[in-house]
């Protein structure tokens, strides 16, 4: 019986030791797993930040490229518009400048006579000028109508009215033409 009691005690001690060992072993993998999980989490966060930074840099590069392309297209369109605008605007500007010179020289009659051809010249030029003038068209059109009414058939403007009408159109057309 003593042997049986010793055997029971030894078995109990062995079982307790085994349980304690298993508990310690199971805790170590849990801690290791937690540490590994934290490392993976930190790595994923760092990777996410790197991807975010890379995407942001890529987005900025695309934005900068689009802006540069847009600016180049705008410059090309402006140059093309100016090239198309010149043949329409230059004859009108020439007539206005010639008539303004006549007025400054005191030749009201010569200015009125020269401006008699404005209506037909404007009828040809305005369809080309209008789409290229953009938001400036309203001021240009109003000034052109003032010139037409000032120098129209049978009108006898004085020097002040004639000069005002001419400079009223000369300014916005010159600005549009870049002169």
> Token digits for 142?
């109003």
Q: Does residue 172 carry a pLDDT above 60?
A: yes
| Structural domain harbouring 12 | 2-177
- What are the structure tokens assigned to 122, written together? 């404007």
- Predicted pLDDT of residue 62: 67
> Angle 108-115/137-151 helices, nearest 10 degrees?
120
Kindly state the tokens that stand for 136.
């400036």
pTM of the model: 0.55
Q: Using the predicted structure, report yes or no on whether residue 102 has a pLDDT greater than 60.
A: yes
Q: Average pLDDT of the chain?
A: 77
- DSSP line for 105-124: TT-HHHHHHHHTTHHHHHHH
- Indicate whether 9 pLDDT > 50: yes
Q: How remote is the C-alpha of 125 from its chain's centroid?
A: 31
Q: Predicted confidence band at 178 (pLDDT cuts at 50, 70, 90)?
A: confident
pLDDT tens per residue, range 26-79: 555 556 656 656 755 675 566 667 667 766 766 676 667 556 556 554 454 445
Give me the number of domains the chain comprises. 1
Tokens representing residue 173 in the block: 């057309």
* Alpha helix stretches (DSSP H) within the chain: 2-104, 108-115, 118-133, 137-151, 159-177
Query: How confident is residue 17, by pLDDT bands cut at 50, 70 and 90?
Result: very low
Which pair of tokens denotes residue 63?
């934005």
- pLDDT higher for 123 or 22? 123
At 109, the pLDDT band (50, 70, 90 cuts) reads very high
The lowest-confidence range among 33-47, 119-133, 164-178 is 33-47
> Dihedral sign, CA of 7, 9, 12, 17?
negative
Q: Which residue has the tokens 């930074």?
A: 53
Per-residue pLDDT for 132 more than 60?
yes
């Amino acid at each position: 019986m003593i042997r049986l009691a010793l055997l029971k005690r030894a078995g109990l001690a062995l079982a307790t030791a085994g349980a304690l060992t298993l508990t310690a072993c199971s805790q170590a993998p849990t801690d290791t797993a937690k540490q590994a999980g934290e490392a993976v989490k930190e790595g994923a966060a760092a990777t996410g930040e790197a991807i975010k930074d890379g995407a942001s840099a890529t987005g900025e590069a695309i934005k900068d490229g689009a802006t540069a392309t847009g600016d180049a297209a705008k410059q090309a369109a402006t140059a093309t518009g100016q090239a198309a605008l010149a043949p329409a605007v230059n004859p009108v500007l020439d007539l206005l400048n010639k008539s303004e010179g006549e007025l400054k020289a005191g030749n009201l009659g010569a200015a009125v006579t020269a401006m008699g051809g404005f209506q037909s010249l404007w009828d040809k030029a305005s369809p080309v000028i209008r789409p290229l003038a953009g938001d400036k068209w309203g001021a240009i059109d109003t000034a052109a109508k003032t010139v037409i009414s000032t120098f129209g058939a049978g009108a006898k403007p004085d020097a002040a009215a004639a000069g005002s009408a001419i400079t009223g159109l000369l300014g916005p057309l010159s600005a549009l033409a870049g002169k």
